[in-house]
Structure 1
Amino acid sequence: MGEGAGYVHQMNGFAVVANDRRYSEAEGLQRVEERAVTRPDGALEIKTVFAAGVRQIRVERYTVHYPGSAVVEQWLEIVNGSEGELKLTRIDTVQGTLAPGAYTLDYFMNHANGTEFIPVTCPLEGTKVLDCTAGRSSRLMHPWLTLRGAEGGVFACSVAWSGNWILRLEPEAGSLYRLSGGLHDWEFFKVLQPGGRMESVHILYAEMAEGGLNEISIEFGRWGKQFWYPSNAITEAVPAAWNHWWPYEDSAINEDVFKSNVDAAAELGLEICTLDAGWFGEPNPECNDHLGWSENVDWYLKRGDWHKINTIRFPSGIADLSEYVHSKGMKFGIWCEIEALGVKADLAALHPEYAALRDGEQLGYVCFGNPEARQWAFETLQHLIVDYKADWLKLDFNLDPKCGCNRTDHGHGDGDGLYEHYMGYYQVLTRIRELYPEVYLENCSSGGLRIDLGLAKHTHGAFLSDPDFTRHHLQLFWGASMMLHPSACYHFTWSQTIVHYDSNVDKDPIKPDMPLHKFDYMIRANMLNSFACSYRLPELPDWAQRRLGYHIGLYKSMLRKFVGEGDMHRLTGPTLRDGTGEQWNAYFYVMKERNEAVLFIFRLDGGDDERRTFRLQGLNETSVYELMYEDGGEYGKATGLALMEEGLSFELEPEASQIVYVRRMR
């Protein structure tokens, strides 16, 4: 990356500020012990102990090297060995020095709900700080960066944390840069009593002497699939799903509407049906009409009362609905915002000790720093799984906790409430997975405002964004798949919506006179990842139902194995939801043995470039491959070398697509 070796140097450094004094290996700490163990997954875990003397602060650094992977994991455990209190105010899990040279910095901004994964590329100049202080990891920036060297090579770093985080790039003497970060020090402190200990947030990083963004994202994707993400039969299947939300929301959903969609979903070949928000609340005909904002019945104000069902809308109950879905040969999913606490919820009155408060004011969520609140959350999710036989939990979180709870009767102090909340949330998810390993946990937070490798370790897939129009979806996928394997990305095709939203461009993208290629383009864009749709299925025109059914069958029979197992290569830069960026998108999935691959091509609306040539990647140069085009086209064959050097050319109409299957002949 820089001159010479092309690597980031000394990335396993760290720094801790305790009682207003800075500690690191070079500042007051001495290395006193080191041991290495090989874990059951084959990873080498190295524990190095540093101390500032007898009965003082001790720092245990853990560094994990994964077999066959460039990805390294690091975290700290800080122990108070003294006889007095130890006040921690800054904990940098990592600290490293960049090799001299010129660097290009890549990262992703996120201004608000629906603007996830805005790419930023710039020269590394001056001091650069990437951080989040909203209390949700992806609310302002996504916890990920890459540095590309002028002479080749790439380095990536990600904070595996769902709350506030920071990564600093600061110039030092001699044209060097220091990279440091981990848990954000804004409004944070934690007091350790004698003998107390604290685990830092974990950081993942990787460096590759050759390659660029594709190579580093493939490395993280492979590592995630093999070592990091939880897996079960649902994740292995990469299923095709339906969710009721956008065309019905909370105001138009009821038992009959849901069942009619379940019938249509079964006919189409879908495999999951999820009941989103709107199922719980008071038995009142107006309850669940969130648009009406009636304080007496609005479900949003009663979040936390997950034991209640609106029996006016769902007279047979949720268990009956689940049984109906299962009788059709599909799995049942249900939405729950388990962390949220509405101001009108019975839970808020019955258990005020659960509420997160800041200076006495309600923050709108249940503080999982409280062990009693964690137990309540576990039992509530258990109820959804056991009593409703839910196979899929959509776990949402629709607020910014910022610096979090500072009440001191929860088992945490007044400076570490947000930290303890997320540690508690991870504990709840771990208990659920251990007891119900076959249940799929979907990570959602106002769409994609909490996408990070911390939750990726505890959930099975990340919902990318609330808006889902095609251009926006392609922007999301290009960015999210930088840190997540495509199979861990979950989103909807461009949805029908009950009302018009500027963020989603069009209330109903399926037009009566719609050319078939536009419909195909819209559906195929979401086959790049775990597939789902949110339509009024029984009301789709006959032609749209037939074509959707065809594509669901195509996804299941031909495409999802590539999404589930393949290495994904971006053949273009990102497109942007505002109409700028690339006007063509191409993604190439290659299976491990390089025997099979599939190419997705999309021409977006806008731009004058009617024809493009794409050079494929990741094939065996000397092998001969046959090419088959989904929409017709010249059947052909070519060597891997020719496909990678000369490429394939396409001429498409705006908002059209093509799928090409590539199979090795010899």
Structure 2
Amino acid sequence: MDAQIKVSKVSGNQIFHLSNSKVSYILGVEDHNVLAHYYFGKKVNDYSGSLKYPRLDRSFSPNFSDATDRNYSLNTLPQEFPSFGAGDFREPAISVQQTNGSMITDFEYQSYQITDGKDALPELPSTHADQSEAMTLTITMVDKIAQITVNLAYTIFSDSASVVRSSQIINSGTTDIDIKKIDSMNIDFPKNDYQLLQLPGRYAEERQVVVEDINPGTKVLDSKRSSSGHMQSPFFGLVSPNVTEDSGTAYGFNLIYSGSHKSTIQKDPFEQVRVQMGINDFNFSWKLRPQESFQSPEVMMSFSDRGLNQLSHAFHHLILNHVMTSQFAKKPRPILINNWEATYMDFDEAKLEKIVKKSAQLDIELFVLDDGWFGHRNDDNSSLGDWYVNKEKLPHGLTSISDLTHQLGMKFGLWFEPEMVSKDSDLYRAHPDWAIHTPNRPLSVSRDQYVLDFGRQEVREHIFKQMCEILDSTTIDYVKWDMNRNITELYNLDLPADQQGEASHRYILGVYDFMAKITARYPNILFEGCSGGGGRFDAGMLYYMPQYWVSDNTDAVERVKIQYGTSMIYPPVAMGAHVSKIPNPNTGRSIDINFRSLVANSADTGYELDPLTLSDDEVKTVIQENQWYKANRELIQFGDFYRLINPFKNNQGSWMFVSPDKSKAVVMFFNILNQPAYPLTVLKLQGLDPKAKYEVNGSLAVSGDELMNIGFYPMPQPKHDFESMKFELKKI
């Protein structure tokens, strides 16, 4: 096994060195049993103590109670898991209120344990690895006065430039304590010139790439929505100035959690940078009774010394091999068609049958029936929570359309929104208290629906029973799980007043419990996540559902940016991308089907249009594109993905897919707006065998090193806006 954890003594200090062939992570025990951070980055063979923090007198930096000089302070020392109140005035990773009201904690190193492999976390999605794939270091720290224990877990994998961290707090005392904050990780970096990379967004514009300077003070990236959300992905990076896709240093931090999250980036007066990530402590608290424990989510931390593509490869590999648990994780994903943009909720059996039959002729593999098949739902004002078939629309139930789909050689999928309830529904009329609300306050409406309290077991059991009745009633191969609003008036009726700070996290734990049970009961159903598009696209969701709808924005030009940003963390096989109708419902733009197809074919492809309206030429194109995609599906979904041209900075975007053995590649180039006297772009490829010759689009033979270092002109003269090119490479 390539992963290893060395424990040694250096200058009298205990040192822990986690490493594989790609990265090293080094921490150690300093004076007064403080757990100090030394290094995270490119693999080093040994550590001799070169980064032991200098002993310096820093004014207004308190010293330990038994200090004989002024040269050692928690306020400046780089630490692994700092607390507050004993001398460090920077952001703490943990805050606990004790019975006497004190918020002061001071944790000291106590012991360590090393185990092979990586166990799953209780109640939470997490990474997994067997004993030959990873090693885990657990550091135990204690506050003897408060009688609190913290276990810090560090996992190093044999096959990834990544370390995974989490924290667990145990009440070792005899009285209750209240957790006010517990981060999953903390790293203190020495003075550096790194910039902050983040992926903010909004509905229909998710995961936009933003790079900015890190200035003195504290920067917070967070969500308070009880969802990871469209507006701020639970990810950030530290990158060297002028980092590119293939050069420069890059660190990435990605939280495996789907609820309210918070990342803190703090530059202190000495230009050291402290970074933290975990559950958002805003309105959070957790009562911990004696001998009880609380487990934080995990953070995936990856490193690259060769730019952003290498960083993305680390995340892609880790998510595909050590996060996803579905049997479909490494299986080819089908080409689907969703009826939403073809019919919205205005459909009946006859209309659906025509779409299904036409789809089969187009070489499509999966038909998905979207919103509107249940209750008396004809618009988005009713029936969520009433998961029984609308017999006015579908008098023969779902079986008729499912049987037809299978008879034509396709699979059948269905849309659900399990976490929601409409005011106009049988469920709400029977159980209005099941909608999350604060007593004696009016309940905000969003999209004319409320959020069911999945933190309560009786609510989950009722929805689970309804879904099972539907899924058992006919052959269903795919489920799209949607979630179209965030929580307001947050309150849990099962909790006492002094535990309402637990409501948000308990909601997410309930969602995870439901997803674990439904995916375990139906292992042969492919589940795809959605939240108004990519509003809850995170690693926590991918643990249960191996693909996610990237965005409700199906405009192909917009999707170039959205998919580019999403690929910073998530592999193409995790992304749902469809060819939509024109004019596009989001932008009104009309883009030719070649451009739309190439963007969609960059991920798990499909269609979001009415196939009955396609022209003869468009039908031919769709069939050709589907046949091409099937022939190249393995390469697109599981090859190495490289971003080539950043559409956030250029009028073009480009990326490519390379087979693991470097024998095949596909390059996609997108020109957005045409221009007179068009400036010529040189496209340089990545990931090829530099010594091999490649046939390009069946003719020209070019060496790999020429394609990567010299490049070529992909589109010498565009003819119109929104033009695309595809280049297929085969080693000869």
TM-score (ref. length: structure 2): 0.80
Give, as a single letter, the amino acid of the residue that structure 2 aligns with 1:624. Answer: K
Secondary structure of 2:601's aligned partner? helix
Other-structure match for 2:356:
262
Secondary structure of 1:64's aligned partner? strand
**Do structure 1's residue 326 and structure 2's residue 406 form an aligned pair?**
yes
**Do structure 1's residue 214 and structure 2's residue 278 form an aligned pair?**
no
Measure the CA separation in 2 of the matches of 1:332 and 1:343: 30
Contact 1:236 1:564 in 2 (8 A): no
Measure the CA separation in 1 of the matches of 2:510 and 2:354: 39
Seen in structure 2, the aligned counterparts of structure 1 residues 319 and 405 have a Cα distance that, compared at 3 Å, is farther
How much is the aligned-residue C-alpha RMSD, in angstroms?
A: 2.5
Other-structure match for 2:96:
18
Other-structure match for 1:400:
486
Segment drifting more, 145-154 vs 185-194: 145-154
**Do structure 1's residue 612 and structure 2's residue 681 form an aligned pair?**
yes
Other-structure match for 1:588:
656
Other-structure match for 1:119:
209
**Do structure 1's residue 636 and structure 2's residue 697 form an aligned pair?**
no
Contact 2:437 2:489 in 1 (8 A): no
Give, as a single letter, the amino acid of the residue that structure 2 aligns with 1:62. Answer: A
Contact 2:113 2:139 in 1 (8 A): yes
Segment drifting more, 235-244 vs 488-497: 488-497
Segment drifting more, 473-482 vs 99-108: 99-108
Give, as a single letter, the amino acid of the residue that structure 1 aligns with 2:492. Answer: N
Other-structure match for 1:438:
524
Other-structure match for 1:163:
259
Other-structure match for 1:232:
327
Measure the CA separation in 1 of the matches of 2:393 and 2:497: 40
Question: Which residue of the other structure, out of 281, 289, 294, is the alignment partner of 2:375?
Answer: 281
Other-structure match for 1:200:
296
* 1:43-68 Cα shifts (integer Å, max 9, x gaps): 22233322223882222222222221
Give, as a single letter, the amino acid of the residue that structure 2 aligns with 1:641. Answer: D
1:647-658 matches, within 5 Å, as 647-650=711-714, 651=716, 652-653=718-719, 654-658=721-725
Measure the CA separation in 2 of the matches of 1:355 and 1:413: 19
* 1:222-273 Cα shifts (integer Å, max 9, x gaps): 22111112343586122111001112111x2221111111101111111111
After TM superposition, give the deviation of residue 402 of structure 1 in Å: 5.0
* 1:616-661 Cα shifts (integer Å, max 9, x gaps): 11112112222116xxxxx211211111111121223332222111
* 1:430-475 Cα shifts (integer Å, max 9, x gaps): 1222222221111100111111111111211111111211111111
Measure the CA separation in 1 of the matches of 2:230 and 2:440: 25
Contact 1:47 1:61 in 2 (8 A): yes
Other-structure match for 1:243:
338
Contact 1:385 1:391 in 2 (8 A): no
Aligned residues: 621
Secondary structure of 1:264's aligned partner? helix
Seen in structure 2, the aligned counterparts of structure 1 residues 563 and 300 have a Cα distance that, compared at 3 Å, is farther
Question: Which residue of the other structure, out of 656, 671, 691, is the alignment partner of 1:622?
Answer: 691
Measure the CA separation in 2 of the matches of 1:247 and 1:551: 20
Give, as a single letter, the amino acid of the residue that structure 2 aligns with 1:565. Answer: F
Give, as a single letter, the amino acid of the residue that structure 2 aligns with 1:374. Answer: R
Seen in structure 2, the aligned counterparts of structure 1 residues 5 and 45 have a Cα distance that, compared at 3 Å, is closer
Seen in structure 2, the aligned counterparts of structure 1 residues 229 and 607 have a Cα distance that, compared at 3 Å, is farther
Measure the CA separation in 2 of the matches of 1:347 and 1:33: 51
Contact 2:80 2:188 in 1 (8 A): no
1:255-404 matches, within 5 Å, as 255-282=349-376, 287-288=377-378, 290=379, 300-306=381-387, 308-361=388-441, 362=443, 364-402=450-488, 404=490
Gap regions ≥5 residues in structure 1 = 291-298, 511-517, 576-580, 630-634
After TM superposition, give the deviation of residue 403 of structure 1 in Å: 7.4
Measure the CA separation in 2 of the matches of 1:245 and 1:446: 13
Seen in structure 2, the aligned counterparts of structure 1 residues 390 and 81 have a Cα distance that, compared at 3 Å, is same
Contact 1:369 1:412 in 2 (8 A): no
1:149-160 matches, within 5 Å, as 149-150=240-241, 152-160=248-256
After TM superposition, give the deviation of residue 277 of structure 1 in Å: 0.3
After TM superposition, give the deviation of residue 375 of structure 1 in Å: 2.2
Measure the CA separation in 1 of the matches of 2:479 and 2:400: 17
Measure the CA separation in 2 of the matches of 1:357 and 1:491: 35
After TM superposition, give the deviation of residue 154 of structure 1 in Å: 0.8
Seen in structure 2, the aligned counterparts of structure 1 residues 319 and 55 have a Cα distance that, compared at 3 Å, is farther
**Do structure 1's residue 28 and structure 2's residue 92 form an aligned pair?**
no
Give, as a single letter, the amino acid of the residue that structure 2 aligns with 1:504. Answer: T
Contact 2:464 2:518 in 1 (8 A): yes
Measure the CA separation in 2 of the matches of 1:543 and 1:410: 64
Contact 2:329 2:546 in 1 (8 A): no
Other-structure match for 1:294:
none
Higher relative contact order (CA 8 A, sep 6+): 1
After TM superposition, give the deviation of residue 314 of structure 1 in Å: 0.9
Measure the CA separation in 1 of the matches of 2:79 and 2:401: 52
Segment drifting more, 410-419 vs 462-471: 410-419
Contact 2:326 2:544 in 1 (8 A): no
Seen in structure 2, the aligned counterparts of structure 1 residues 368 and 597 have a Cα distance that, compared at 3 Å, is same
Measure the CA separation in 1 of the matches of 2:208 and 2:117: 39
Give, as a single letter, the amino acid of the residue that structure 2 aligns with 1:474. Answer: V
Measure the CA separation in 2 of the matches of 1:204 and 1:264: 44
Other-structure match for 1:37:
116
Other-structure match for 1:184:
280
Measure the CA separation in 2 of the matches of 1:109 and 1:400: 17
Other-structure match for 1:459:
545
Give, as a single letter, the amino acid of the residue that structure 1 aligns with 2:689. Answer: N
Gap regions ≥5 residues in structure 2 = 1-22, 24-37, 43-50, 52-77, 83-92, 119-128, 445-449
Segment drifting more, 640-649 vs 431-440: 431-440
Other-structure match for 2:726:
659
**Do structure 1's residue 77 and structure 2's residue 77 form an aligned pair?**
no
Contact 2:109 2:139 in 1 (8 A): no
Give, as a single letter, the amino acid of the residue that structure 2 aligns with 1:196. Answer: E
After TM superposition, give the deviation of residue 353 of structure 1 in Å: 4.9
Contact 1:11 1:94 in 2 (8 A): no
Measure the CA separation in 2 of the matches of 1:560 and 1:22: 55
TM-score (ref. length: structure 1): 0.88
Question: Which residue of the other structure, out of 481, 494, 497, is the alignment partner of 2:567?
Answer: 481
Seen in structure 2, the aligned counterparts of structure 1 residues 92 and 403 have a Cα distance that, compared at 3 Å, is farther
* 1:561-585 Cα shifts (integer Å, max 9, x gaps): 122111111111124xxxxx42111
Other-structure match for 2:12:
none
Give, as a single letter, the amino acid of the residue that structure 2 aligns with 1:562. Answer: L
After TM superposition, give the deviation of residue 71 of structure 1 in Å: 1.9
Seen in structure 2, the aligned counterparts of structure 1 residues 212 and 388 have a Cα distance that, compared at 3 Å, is same
Give, as a single letter, the amino acid of the residue that structure 2 aligns with 1:342. Answer: S
Contact 1:348 1:354 in 2 (8 A): yes
Between structure 1 and structure 2, the one with the greater Rg is 2
Segment drifting more, 377-386 vs 645-654: 377-386
After TM superposition, give the deviation of residue 606 of structure 1 in Å: 4.2
Give, as a single letter, the amino acid of the residue that structure 2 aligns with 1:171. Answer: K
Contact 1:97 1:179 in 2 (8 A): yes
Measure the CA separation in 2 of the matches of 1:405 and 1:319: 39
Measure the CA separation in 1 of the matches of 2:507 and 2:362: 41
After TM superposition, give the deviation of residue 169 of structure 1 in Å: 0.7
Other-structure match for 2:644:
571
